Every structure is written in C-alpha cells, then in structure tokens.
C-alpha cells in the first residue's frame, strides 16, 4: 500500500509526524509521503521514524497556488533538497500568512468580538494557523453553533471575515519544487472548479509550464471522476498519483492509505520516484 498525500500536526492534521508513520506501519503502508501545507517542519521527524519502521518515506509538501475560480493545490513530491531550497522560500509564505491572520483578528475585533492573535495561536496548538482555528474560536465564544456555521456566516469566500491569501504563482511553485529536486503534481483536480470540457486544455497548458503529474486517486473523488482523470492524464502524458489526504481526526472521512472509493491507492509505474 502507498499513500502520497498526508498531513500532520505541523499543518492541519492531528497526528504528529512520528505518530503518522506509526499509523502507516499499523495499516500496512510501505511507502508514504508527508505533504503538509506550506511547511517542511515535520519532514525530518517523519523520515527518521519511517526509517526505524522500515517504511519508504517520500518528502513532500502541498503548496497553495493563486487561482480562480477554485483552489489550486500543488503537491511537491520527493523534494529531496528541501532543507536548502524549500525552507528559505517558505519564510515569505509564512510572513504573508501571518499578515492575513492579523487582518482577520482586526476585522473580528472591529465588530466587537473579543479575540486576540494570542487566542488564535493557542487554539492552533502549534499547527499552521488557518480558518478552521478561527471557526473553532467562534464556536467556543458562542457566536455560532458549529464550525460549518462559522464558515457559512463569517469565513467563507465573500463573508465578513474572509481575506484572500497571497498565494504563490504557478510558475513560482513549480520552480521551487523542481529546485528542491521534486516533481510537481496537481492535487485533487476537482477543487479547481474547471469544467470537464475545459480541463484537458488547461492541463495541457500547465504541462507546458512544468506540471508532471495529476492526483487522480483522491479519497474525496468519485470512482467515475477518477476514471475520467486517468484517461485525461494518459492522453496528455502525465504520471498519476493518489492519496488519502489524511488529516487525522480533523477529517475522519479520509482514512490513511485509502484513495478513491475507499480502496487502496494504485501504483502508476510511470511515477519517477517509486
């Protein structure tokens, strides 16, 4: 079994990098990638534990790319030079994220919500701060009943506390991954919100830019959609990957080691690092 898309407590998962490797061993996974959002902080811990357990470890990351109408997440898989190339570049991303979070706190305070940035840091418990942590605080303060309502009323696109991230441009993300020795892969393509009619053309353009693979077997994808993605990937010459997008207790609908349809992730022989 393989899983090329997972998250730890270093971004928005609930397992530490070492705990994630322990769970992978328990589930019979033999190859796993840790792909936390915009951070490499957990890679060394995960790699050391994977080595102890006899699991093949693929260092990775999930970068957010500036894109509309949907979300463009770019996996960097097998980023073997992450310490020298990826980490310095991520400092700018984290500074942008801090500025955004401070603006969100200020917006909430301006509407009478008693909330400090320190409260958000405490809620995140060491994780990379994001909208789910703001949602949790709004629930705890009794402003909304649950996190879903927090997003619906305050945190979703177009709502009062939403501030758009300053994400990387696609060519920046691709260049950063390749300089790190890795391979750029489009994560969960359905989140792009590009129609099936336009998707092949867009993917062909992105291939010219340097995208090498497509995550066709994602835990949130319907089997028929994954099959369509397989055909498109083969037609355009992309290699195919898959993963659970595991987040621990934060997303219980994404069990570790399972992709499309709750089945084990297939292995594409065209993947260059497997």
pLDDT digits (tens, 9 = 90+) for 161-209: 999 877 899 999 999 999 999 999 999 999 999 999 999 999 999 999 9
pLDDT of residue 12: 84
| CATH assignment of the domain containing 246 | 3.20.20.140
pLDDT of residue 132: 85
Based on the domain organization, do 112 and 74 belong to the same domain? no
Based on the domain organization, do 177 and 232 belong to the same domain? yes
Based on the domain organization, do 83 and 105 belong to the same domain? no
Percent pLDDT > 90 in the chain is 82
- Cα Rg of the chain (Å, integer): 18
123 inside domain: yes
pLDDT of residue 165: 74
pLDDT of residue 95: 85
Based on the domain organization, do 63 and 106 belong to the same domain? no
Based on the domain organization, do 37 and 83 belong to the same domain? yes
Domain total of the chain: 2
Based on the domain organization, do 127 and 247 belong to the same domain? no
What is the maximum span of the chain, computed from C-alpha positions, in angstroms?
Answer: 56
Based on the domain organization, do 187 and 226 belong to the same domain? yes
- Regions of the chain short of the pLDDT cut 70: 126-127
DSSP 8-state code for residue 168? B
Helix or strand run (H / E) with residue 64: strand 56-65
Range of the domain at 147: 99-155
Q: What pTM does this model have?
A: 0.84
Closest CA to 25 of 234, 256, 223: 256
Helices (H), the chain: 17-26, 43-53, 87-110, 117-124, 131-140, 147-150, 170-179, 199-209, 223-236
pLDDT of residue 91: 83
Which string of b and e fits 10-43 if b means at least 16 CB within 10 Å? bbbbbbbbbbbbbbbbeeebebbbbbbbbbbbbb
């Amino acid at each position: 079994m393989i899983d090329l898309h997972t998250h730890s407590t270093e971004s928005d998962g609930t397992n530490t990098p070492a705990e994630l490797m322990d769970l992978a061993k328990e589930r019979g996974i033999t190859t796993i990638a840790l792909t936390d959002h915009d951070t490499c902080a957990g890679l060394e811990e995960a790699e050391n534990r994977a080595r102890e357990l006899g699991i093949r470890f693929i260092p990775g990351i999930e970068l957010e790319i500036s894109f509309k109408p949907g979300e463009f997440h770019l996996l960097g898989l097998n980023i073997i030079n992450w310490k020298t190339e990826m980490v310095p570049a991520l400092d700018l991303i984290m500074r942008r994220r801090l500025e955004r979070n401070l603006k969100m706190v200020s917006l909430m305070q301006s509407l009478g919500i008693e909330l400090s940035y320190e409260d958000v840091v405490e809620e995140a418990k060491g994780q990379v701060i994001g909208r789910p942590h703001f949602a949790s605080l709004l629930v705890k303060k009794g402003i909304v009943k649950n996190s879903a309502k927090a997003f619906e009323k305050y945190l979703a696109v177009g709502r009062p506390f939403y501030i758009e991230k300053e994400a990387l441009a696609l060519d920046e993300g691709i260049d950063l991954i390749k300089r790190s020795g890795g391979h750029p892969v489009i994560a969960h393509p359905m989140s792009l919100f590009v129609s099936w009619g336009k998707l092949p053309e867009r993917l062909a353009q992105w291939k010219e830019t340097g995208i090498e693979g497509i995550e066709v077997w994602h835990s949130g994808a319907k089997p028929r959609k994954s099959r369509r993605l397989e055909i498109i990937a083969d037609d355009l010459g992309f290699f195919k990957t898959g993963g659970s997008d595991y987040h621990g207790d934060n997303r219980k609908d994404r069990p570790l080691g399972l992709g499309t349809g709750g089945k084990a992730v297939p292995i594409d022989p065209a993947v260059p690092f497997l």
